[in-house]
Amino acid sequence: MSGKIYVAHDALSGLLDDLSKKFRVWIPQMMDQASGHIAFGVYAPGKKPELTRRSRLSPKKILFPSTDTLFKFTHVKDPKDPVRYTIDLKESFDNGPTLVFGARPCDTRGFQTFDQVFLKGQYKDVYYERRRQNTLFATLVCQDSDTACFCSSVGSGPADMTGSDMAVIPIEGGYVIEGLTDAGRKLVEASGSAPSPEQAAEAEQIKQKTAAMKVGEDDLTGYADDLTRRFTDMDFWREQVSPCITCGICTWVCPTCYCFSITDEASGMSGERMRSWDSCMFYLYTLEARGHNPRPTKMERYRNRVGHKFSYFPKKYDGMVSCCGCGRCIRTCPVSIDIRKVVKELKETADDRA
């Protein structure tokens, strides 16, 4: 077989119904009609994937939940000597077979950043690793970028299938789904029938046309040293960050922001050790126990956010920018701070920028 299937629009629910018997299937779906809020949710029969408009929240939480129980603990008292107790620990994993259907290339590519940090270093994050191994991505070839999109500026593009197991290509009347990895091909071939030669050709043409599209005007890679030079230029940071209200939206919606906090949430004798998302835009993020805060204002905090993605990360990981260009931070920022503009202006003079 060709490793490709054709699914007509009206057959998509049937396909998802079948897949959801084997996988926990996540799809972008309309969460609130009134505000047009689209986010990833678990598929259940009757739910409709929203594939024509971008989701406001990324699929990050599927592999990296906003709150994740690391283990459960119970203090067990010694009945003979109640002052003494032992601690009973229980593993906590939640990682059945999972399929993410209909994420955009930027969404899927966001996990490349996670992979570097959570899988490829000296220590592996076992919670992330188990989910990662059990998750397949069927990624939509993306044809409708908007004014905040800039995937091509960070070394990607609207047909970039890095990290995807299947490509979902919209054609007239439906979709061609193409297996890209062994697991993806196996699943695709078991899930439907091959496209007609015309459909396959149309899909190929759309794929190529989309791959040739340039989303985002400037190349935003290669700014690592410019940030270093700008580091102490507080006038620059004041100018860029004055409107910032130091909420955490940009970090919450970001597919590559991976910072977390660990807390024990206990009540009585038992509780859970929990990992939850943290945001470098918050004052408490760097507040030290003694009371000192090395990033006391929004200028230092925002500088860190830009520096992490466009300078420190690429310096550490072979030039890879830890930004996937999805534009969510721009779209959802209450004061429309544009990270593209900030990065571009890191270069100090017009000559630098040329």
**Binding site residues, other proteins, CB under 8 A:** 31-32, 34-37, 39, 53, 56-57, 66-67, 144-148, 238, 242-243, 245-249, 252-253, 261, 263, 265, 274, 276, 279, 282-284, 297-299, 330, 332, 334-338, 340-341
Amino acid at 125: D
> What are the CA-CA distances from residue 267 to residues 9, 179, 262, 271 (Å)?
49, 48, 16, 6
For other proteins, the closer CB: 33 or 349: 33
Chain centre to alpha carbon of residue 178:
22
Comparison of 134 and 297: residue with beta carbon closer to other proteins: 297
Closer Cβ to other proteins, 196 or 246, answer by number: 246
| Residue 268 falls in which region: left (phi positive, over 0), alpha (psi -120 to 50) or beta | left
In the complex, least distance from residue 250 CB atom to other proteins, rounded to whole angstroms:
9
CA gap 150, 146 in Å, rounded: 9
Q: State the minimum distance, in angstroms, from the CB of residue 134 to other proteins.
A: 22
Backbone angles phi, psi at 306, to 5 degrees: -65, -45
Rounded CA separation 231/212 (Å): 36
Rounded to a whole number of angstroms, the minimum distance from the CB of residue 309 to other proteins is 18
Q: How far is the CB of 5 from other proteins (least distance, A)?
A: 28
Task: Specify the residue, 122 or 147, whose C-beta has the smaller distance to other proteins.
Answer: 147
Here the tokens at position 332 are 């959802």
The least CB distance from residue 296 to other proteins, in Å, is 8
Tokens at 265, concatenated: 């949430």
Distance in Å, CB of 266 to other proteins, minimum: 9
Which residue, 51 or 99, has its beta carbon nearer to other proteins? 51
Instruction: Find the shortest distance in angstroms from Cβ 95 to other proteins.
Output: 19
Q: CB nearer to other proteins: give 37 or 124.
A: 37
Integer Cα distance of 232 and 229 in angstroms: 7
The residue among 239, 240, 219, 248 whose CA lies nearest residue 314 is 219
Helices 298-307, 234-241: inter-axial angle, 10-degree rounding: 90
Cβ atoms of 211 and 272 closer than 8 Å: no
- Give the count of alpha carbons within 13 A of 183, CB side only: 12
Q: Which is nearer to other proteins, 173 or 334 (CB)?
A: 334
Rank residues 3 and 271 by Cβ distance to other proteins and give the closer one.
Answer: 271
- In the numeric block, which tokens belong to residue 201? 């050709």
* 189 three-state secondary structure: helix
The SS3 of residue 99 is strand
Encoded tokens for 347: 């270069």
Least separation in angstroms between CB 280 and other proteins: 13
